[in-house]
Amino acid sequence: MAVATDRVERAVDAFMAHLAVERGSSPNTLRAYGNDLRRYVAHLRERGVDDLAAVQEADVSGFVAALRSGPAPLAASSAARALAAVRGLHRFAARDGLVDDDVSRAVTPPATARRLPRTLTVDEVEQLLAGCIGDGPTGLRDRALLELLYSTGARISEAVGIDVDDLDAESRTVLLHGKGGKQRVVPVGRPALAAVDAWLVRGRPALASRGRGSPALLLNARGARLSRQSAWHVLRGAAEVAGVRAEVSPHTLRHCFATHLLSGGADVRVVQELLGHASVATTQIYTHVTVDTLREVYATAHPRARG
């Protein structure tokens, strides 16, 4: 934020400092909250409000309505994210005694369309993994990356964040560093361990010699940690080589991990822990995918389903 010129801005500055210092929020989170709160400050200023204690519930709901209208309306998901920042500000202000009450508490986010994640079948995943070809260092690295993504359900950011010491081949587990500094230990399947071992023995030393001793498990051509963007290009390139027609995204193998586990009978709360979701409600979106699959099988296989 710029230099605070009114009480609202000073409250925002205090909240942002709280997020950075006490909550340890990531730079991406701070940037997003900062942008959203700048919009909120401008909205309040247009209404002649320069003190957070003077804000009414109508001001907050009006902010959400303004985001969804006008010449460049925001999507419901973006407006909901902005409201989350605003509610965080008011909750912080009420807790610290800057205001008497949290007037944002009753304001609800706009409804968003529920989108089911696109997943691949097991055969399509096998086809995708086969798209990592070659015994050179990058080919071995790419296979290790995709095997890890599918075996562990890790986000791409978590996969590239793995250090060599985070992998325990003996216990067949890996330590993942998730959102908000949270860590979790997840199992690693034998195919993924084999791919990682091949990379460590026959690929990583060649790339590591070009760098400065990075602890990262997955390295780029300069011997430094592989970036999220590069990992995404690896996934997309493998899909092109393998001829996978389905659209792939950075989360494709994570979605496949969850869906295939649930289809195989895994408990949703176990999958929640493996994915690192804070709420089981987030994980339950995958149960809809498996129910849809069951419905399709039923419709094509049961003699009374086609009546």
Whether 152 contacts 257, CB under 8 Å: yes
Between CA 251 and CA 279 the distance in angstroms is: 18
Catalytic residue, from 33, 40, 150, 286: name it: 286
What's the token pair of residue 75?
Answer: 């999507």
- CA distances from residue 52 to 32, 33, 101, 167, 259 in whole angstroms, order as listed: 20, 17, 10, 48, 45
Has 286 been annotated as catalytic?
A: yes
The DSSP output letter for 182 is -
Whether 219 contacts 136, CB under 8 Å: no
What's the token pair of residue 106?
Answer: 């009753």
Catalytic residue, from 179, 184, 202, 236: name it: 179
- Determine the Cα angle at 67 with ends 62 and 73, to 5°: 140
Catalytic residue, from 43, 143, 155, 204: name it: 155
The DSSP output letter for 56 is -
Has 155 been annotated as catalytic?
A: yes
Catalytic residue, from 143, 254, 255, 260: name it: 254
Which residue intervals of the chain are DSSP H helices? Answer: 7-17, 27-46, 57-67, 76-95, 122-129, 137-152, 156-160, 190-202, 204-208, 228-242, 252-263, 268-275, 280-283, 285-301
Catalytic residue, from 43, 90, 143, 251: name it: 251
Has 251 been annotated as catalytic?
A: yes
Has 179 been annotated as catalytic?
A: yes
Has 182 been annotated as catalytic?
A: no
Q: Dihedrals φ, ψ of 34, to 5°?
A: -60, -45
For the annotated catalytic residues, the residue numbers are: 155, 179, 251, 254, 277, 286
